[in-house]
Each structure stands twice: as C-alpha cells, then as structure tokens.
C-alpha cells in the first residue's frame, strides 16, 4: 500500500489547503487512487479553478444558441432542423514534448467532443504558435505538429479547412496547439452527457486502456522546466483508424433509441467522464475496473482511472438495450464492456480485484472543487510614441515585399497543402481566405468558420486586445457574407498565480464580454489552458477564437480574390494610420512597444452589417478585411489570389507608411464594377459609411500613383516561398 506523504501530494498538484479539505470531506486519509482522482478533477484543466469566476461573466446565449458551455461542445441552430456543433481545445504541453502525437491526439480529442453530441464532423481548423524562427527547436516542432494535425485529420476523412500560424519568441519553450472541430447534426438528435436512471448500465466502448496519458490533465495544469522531456510518457498515443470506427459505430447507434447519455474519455480519462456524467444527473456511479478492457497487464486502479488512452467513450444505456448496442460495436470491431451501474448514493465507488479502491461523494469532486478569486493587476503599455516612426528611405512596395516574405505575414500555403481540405466534397472555399466555407450537406446553406487571435494586442492592452480578437473573428465571418452566430474559445495564458498574468486574463475576458454583447456573438464552448510557462517565463496572452456563421444561400457569398479587371477598389472604414503593435513596427522598425489600435465596436457593427447586406443582395462578391500588415498588405493578398494587378491612386498625403501599413480596425476592401459604382456608393453614403476609392483593378502589376510598380508574380513568389526556404535551410 502506497503511503500518502507531502511529496506525493505536491507531485499531484494539490496544495496544503486543498489537501486539508480532502481530509475533512472524506474524514480520513485518501487512498492513492482517490488522491489521483482528486488531482485530475481539481486540476486547472478540468476544474477551471482559477478561471471560472471570470468565465461565468461571458455572454453565452442568443436566439440561435441551443447549447452553451457545460457540455462536450456548443450547439447552434442553422434552421430547417439542422444544427452546428463545435468546440476548440488546447493540446499545448503534449505537443511540445511529442509534437506529432501531441497534435494528432489534440485533433482526435476535439473530434470526439463533437461526435459525442451526435454530430458528424465536417470541418477541422487549428490555431498553432511556435517560437522564434531562429530557435533550434522551432523547425522540428513545426514539422511534427503540422504532420500530426494532417495525419490524424486526413485518416479520419475530415477536411482541415483553415487555421492560423504565428512565430514569436515567447513560445520558444511553450508552443500552442489549439484544435477546432465543427460538426452537423439534426436538432432532434443531439446527445448529452447527463447520466440518468438508477440501475442503468455504465458502458465502456472503443479502444483498450493502456498506460499512455496518465497524469495528462495534471501535466497540462503545471509549468514546464528543463526536465519537461521526462514527461513524455504522459503524452497520449492516437490511432485515427480506431477513431474512425468509433465515430461510425457511435453515429450508427445514435440512430437507435438506445443511448441515454454519452461522454468522451478526454482529459483525466475514465475519471472525468464518470464523475461529470453522474454529477450532471445527480446520481451515483459504481465501477468495477476488472471489467475495463486493458491492453497492458497488471494495471492498477490508479492507472486505469487516470489513463488518457485515446478513442474511448463512456455511455449510459438501459440493461435491456445492452445486446442491441453490443451488436453495433461488435460489427465495427470495437470493445464493448459493461463496467458499472448508476446508483442513488451520489458517490463514486471503485472496486478492483475485490477491493474497494475509492469511495468519494461526487459533490466534493465537482461543486466542491476549489474556486479561486486570484488577485490581479491589469497592466497596459504606454501610449505609442509616434516620434519613433520615421519614414524609411525604402519605397512602399519594397517594404511590402519585405512584409509579405516575413514569417507572420507570408502565405500559409505550405501548411494547409499538407491537409486534405476537400474530402467529403462539401468544402466551398478552401484555406487562405478570411473564413473557410463548408456546405451543410444536402442543402444550399454554408457554414463560415475562422480562427483568430492577436496576442501582441492582448499583451499590450488586455482589455482592448479582448475587444479586438472578438471583432476580428466577427469581421472575418462577415467578410464572406455570413451572419456571425457564436464562438468557441481557447484561452492560453501563463501562471494565474502571478498578479500580472491573472490581470491579462481578467482584462481579455472584460474586453471579450463587451464585444460579444455588442456584436451579439456569444461564447458557446471552449477551453482554458493556463501555466503556459517554462522556468518562470510565460507566453503572451493568447485567446484563440473560433467563429461560426451561417450563409443562408450559397449563391451569395464573397471571397477575397479580385475577379475582374476594371473593378473599382474601395477601402471602407477610416484610416488614421495607427502603427502601435503593428507588424510593420516590429518587422521594419524593430519596435514592439506602444498600445494596440482602438476598436470602435459601434462602427465595427455598422460597417460589417452593411458589407454583409451588400453581399447578400449580390451587389459585391469580392471582400477582404484589413488586419495584420494594414491596407497595402491586404490589397496585395487580393491581387495575388486573383492574379490581377491594381493601379493604386492615392492622395499625396496618404503615400506614407502610416496609411499603407497601419492596422486601424473595422476596415474592409471591396472590389466593384463600374456599372454598380453609383448604386453602391449611394448605399454607403446613405448609411454614413466612410469610404474612399483607392484604385482600379488592372493588368498584372501593383502600381502606386504611376511612380512605383511590382509584378504580381514577384509578390506571389515572395509570399508563398518563405516556408519552403526556411525549412530547406
């Protein structure tokens, strides 16, 4: 029998105060299995003990929300009985230790969250961040993560349709791998995790349990140090072919009237799934671990309960439906085992080898989990010093070339070409635009999906950064003509026990709340990943936002590529030339100080609603939002993707770096034919939308006021070759 001591308690991430509460609640010392269960359920990853006070303040409802936070994934109404089911989660620490498997199992896990709800996954996206390009580990991690994402998603036959990649030294020892999945289900066939029915069977399905992933949830809730490689055994090992079988078996069984509740075995494995299901239903649960299918011999109760082996589910079914359910899983060659029963005790009871290994009141594990109102301090940068901006001798197009060939503005084509983005044949618009578009199968409706984050803004001013990240997501969904409905988030931060880090979290959430409310864009699911630090050095605050919107009629949507020569190019929204926290300031001037640009949410909504209306009445079909890199970068992207040049005509006072590369918010570039010019400008004027004509689509060059020009083909080569050149070095 293992003796519980101070060192063991600390190894499990439980502090002195928490352990004292355990002793008082149990009225005895916990067994090693019980200690492991408390460790997992009370980890940051599972309990959100440092963040839930703030998360509860986020808007979670609107007229389209069917299910908000608290389930495996969020659910929104798409009309005609269809629903979108989606969520984003992190797999940061595992991906740093073992990049391929860490990223792969992150993709597998998020898909299980979606199909557990009864939805067939139709799209994958990601938000991934690596250290400085010169760091010795960056290339290895980049190759491993991208391969892992592609390897799992491609094998599952689910298209990866979008994402984002960033390089920054703050991620040198803490890369971020956030995976998002979107599925489609019928509203009347949504499945939930609430266990009900005293005497009903607890059923284990899927792959066998091994020793991989033990302490995964605890590891994800702790800082790294120089010995992080020693945690490699806590990284799960994925099998996408087994998951494909599990997906099809679950969806087949869901067509029958059999499943009462179902839950993915994700973080903390059998522990979290059993505890969460029973707690939601206010019932007890008894488990006999002798009946759990194991692929390794002599596994202890502790190991079985805490294993994070992949491709497993826990279901509640009525005893008289067991054989019907078993037949389905036998057909797909998967394990099916009755491992327990629901009781009226409100306790978790675990037996193994005829011994009682754990008996814990469920309320202690769930509602009794610690909740901390941690002290915080919101710190902002000083106002951006405009005197630092000195016009470069370089001509604007030379600066543009440098920016397009920089790590954080170059094309991500090398990344997304490794993903199958056309499988299932419902991908309408591929990666590389403001939002991906995926057809709702068998209909003429489309889902617009994007992932967005701007950590440099959040670091400089957490509240403004929180506003901006929501607005940016909303803008990207709007740019394709979709109505933004809801978001999922993945909140990546450092150590919340530090006031300034907790201040970053509090500030970002505060800004998000304001933007979500103004834009009617609630949070329906998500994940918090804290303690992203190594040796005391944390990452920039990185709230990744996965946005979902609806295109009612796929005959009406827009893309960013210029489609016709002769089109007029209009810039919507005011440009004041703000360069604080811009990529121009970092890449060209080597300045990273100052505040980010302000977000005017009222103006954001007015302009965005107008753009969407114009798309939906078929008045415009070319739209691109202006974000990283500013106006000239956005325009160049439109020219490159459409292989059509632009003859730019600007007032002399606007031929400057501030106007061309400033990152003022709430702006769009649109392209419209001459015959529609008067009608569209009248609409814009009537709605008091500020705009200016900035050029005309023409030829194969980008030309500024007939003074400077560059071939579009040259820009395209610079834009698309950075990754290849970097990885070949």
Question: Residues with catalytic annotation?
Answer: 45, 91
Please state, in angstroms and as integers, the Cα–Cα distance from residue 138 to each residue in 46, 98, 126, 131, 531, following that order. Answer: 29, 13, 18, 6, 20
Q: How far apart are CA 161 and CA 147, in angstroms?
A: 15
Please list the residues that pair with 317 across neighbouring strands.
201, 259
Strands 312-317 and 201-206, by their bridges, are antiparallel
Can you tell me the distance from the alpha carbon of 74 to that of 546, in angstroms, rounded to the nearest whole number?
12
Q: Which residues contact 297 (CB under 8 A, 6 or more apart)?
A: none
Spatial neighbors of 141 by CB under 8 A, at least 6 apart, are: 95, 96, 99, 130, 131, 175
712-728 vs 396-404: helix axis angle to the nearest 10? 40
Rounded CA separation 560/676 (Å): 18
Beta strand 542-551 with 483-492 is antiparallel
708-711 β-sheet, strand order: 623-625, 668-672, 568-572, 691-697, 646-648, 701-704, 708-711
CA nearest to 432, candidates 411, 407, 453, 408: 411
Instruction: Tell me whether strands 483-492 and 523-529 are parallel, antiparallel or unpaired.
Output: parallel
What does the alpha-carbon distance between residue 238 and residue 109 come to, in Å, rounded to a whole number?
A: 9
Q: How far apart are CA 250 and CA 26, in angstroms?
A: 37
CA distance 448 to 434: 9
Phi/psi-derived region of residue 688, left when phi > 0, alpha when psi is between -120 and 50, beta in every other case: left
**Helix, strand, coil percentages in the chain from 3-state DSSP, rounded to 5:** 40, 25, 35
Residue 496 near residue 529, CB atoms below 8 Å: no
Which contiguous run of DSSP H or E holds residue 273? helix 269-281
The secondary element (H helix, E strand) that includes residue 525 is strand 523-529
Q: How far apart are CA 209 and CA 201, in angstroms?
A: 19
> Residue 510 in 3-state DSSP?
helix
Q: Let me know if 728 is exposed, middle or buried by CB neighbors in 10 A (0-12, 13-18, 19+).
A: exposed
Name the helix (H) or strand (E) containing 398. helix 396-404
Collapsed DSSP state (helix, strand, coil) of residue 311 = coil
Q: Packing angle between helix 322-331 and helix 240-254, nearest 10 degrees?
A: 140
Nearest CA-CA partner of 159 in 123, 128, 125, 126:
123
DSSP, collapsed to helix, strand or coil, labels residue 455 as: helix
* The pair of three-digit structure tokens given for residue 359, joined into one six-digit string: 């008996």
Beta strands 120-130 and 176-186 are antiparallel
């Amino acid at each position: 029998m293992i003796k519980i001591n101070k060192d063991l308690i600390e190894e499990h991430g439980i502090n002195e105060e928490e352990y004292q509460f355990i002793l008082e609640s149990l009225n005895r010392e916990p067994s090693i299995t019980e200690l492991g269960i408390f460790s997992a359920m009370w980890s940051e990853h599972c309990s959100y003990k440092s963040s839930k006070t703030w998360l509860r303040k986020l808007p979670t409802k609107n007229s389209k929300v069917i299910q908000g936070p608290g389930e495996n994934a969020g659910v929104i109404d798409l009309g005609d009985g269809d629903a979108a089911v989606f969520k984003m989660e992190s797999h940061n620490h595992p991906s740093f230790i073992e990049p391929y498997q860490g990223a792969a199992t992150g993709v597998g896990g998020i898909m299980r969250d979606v199909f557990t709800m009864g939805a067939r996954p139709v799209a994958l996206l990601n938000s991934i961040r690596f250290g400085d390009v010169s760091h010795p580990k960056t290339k290895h991690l980049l190759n491993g993560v991208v391969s892992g994402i592609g390897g799992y998603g491609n094998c599952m036959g689910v298209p990866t349709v979008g994402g984002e990649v960033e390089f920054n030294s703050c991620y040198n020892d803490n890369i971020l791998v956030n995976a998002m999945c979107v599925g489609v289900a019928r509203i009347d066939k949504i499945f939930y995790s609430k266990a009900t029915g005293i005497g009903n069977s607890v059923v284990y399905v899927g792959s066998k349990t091994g020793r991989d992933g033990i302490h995964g949830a605890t590891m994800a809730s702790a800082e790294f140090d120089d010995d992080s490689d020693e945690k490699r055994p806590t990284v799960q090992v994925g099998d996408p072919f087994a998951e494909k079988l599990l997906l099809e078996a679950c969806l087949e069984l869901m067509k029958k009237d059999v499943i009462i509740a179902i839950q993915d075995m994700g973080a903390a494995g059998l522990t979290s799934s059993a505890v969460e299901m029973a707690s939601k239903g206010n019932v007890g649960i008894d488990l006999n671990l002798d009946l759990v299918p194991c692929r390794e011999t002599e596994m202890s109760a502790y190991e079985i309960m805490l294993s994070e082996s992949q491709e497993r589910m826990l279901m509640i079914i009525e005893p008289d439906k067991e054989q019907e359910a078993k037949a389905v899983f036998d057909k797909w060659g998967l394990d099916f085992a009755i491992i327990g029963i629901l009781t009226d005790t409100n306790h978790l009871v675990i037996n193994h080898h005829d011994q009682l290994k754990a008996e814990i009141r469920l309320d202690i594990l769930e509602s009794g989990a610690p909740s901390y109102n941690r002290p915080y301090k919101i710190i902002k940068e000083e106002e951006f010093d405009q005197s630092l901006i000195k016009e470069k001798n370089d001509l604007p197009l030379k600066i543009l070339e440098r920016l397009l060939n920089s790590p954080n503005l170059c094309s991500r084509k090398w990344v997304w070409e490794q993903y199958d983005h056309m499988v299932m044949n419902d991908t309408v618009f591929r990666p590389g635009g403001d939002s991906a578009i995926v057809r709702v199968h068998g209909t003429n409706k489309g889902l617009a999906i994007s992932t967005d984050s701007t950590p440099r803004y959040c670091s400089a001013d957490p509240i403004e950064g929180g506003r901006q990240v929501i607005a940016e997501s909303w803008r990207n969904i709007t740019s394709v003509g979709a109505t933004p409905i809801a978001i999922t988030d993945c909140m990546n931060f450092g150590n919340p026990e530090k006031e300034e880090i907790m201040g970053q979290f509090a500030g970002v959430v505060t800004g998000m709340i304001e933007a979500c409310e103004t834009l009617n864009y609630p949070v329906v699911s998500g994940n918090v990943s804290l303690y992203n630090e190594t040796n005391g050095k944390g990452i920039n605050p990185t709230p990744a936002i996965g946005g979902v919107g609806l295109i009612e009629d796929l005959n009406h949507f827009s893309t960013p590529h210029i489609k016709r020569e002769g089109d007029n190019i209009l810039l919507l929204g005011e440009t004041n030339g703000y360069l604080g926290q811009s990529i121009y300031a970092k890449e060209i001037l080597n300045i990273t100080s100052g505040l980010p640009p302000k977000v005017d949410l009222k103006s954001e909504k007015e302009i965005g609603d107008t753009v969407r209306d114009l798309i939906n009445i078929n008045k415009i079909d070319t739209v691109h939002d202006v974000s990283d890199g500013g106006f000239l970068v956005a325009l160049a992207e439109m020219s490159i993707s459409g292989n059509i040049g632009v003859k730019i005509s600007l007032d002399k006072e606007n031929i400057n770096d501030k106007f061309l590369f400033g990152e003022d918010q709430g702006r769009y570039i649109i392209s419209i034919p001459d015959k529609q010019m008067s009608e569209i400008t009248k609409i814009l004027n009537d709605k008091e939308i500020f705009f200016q004509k900035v050029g005309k689509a023409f030829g194969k060059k980008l030309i500024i006021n007939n003074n400077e020009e560059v071939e579009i083909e040259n820009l395209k080569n610079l834009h698309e070759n950075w990754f290849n050149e970097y990885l070949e070095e």
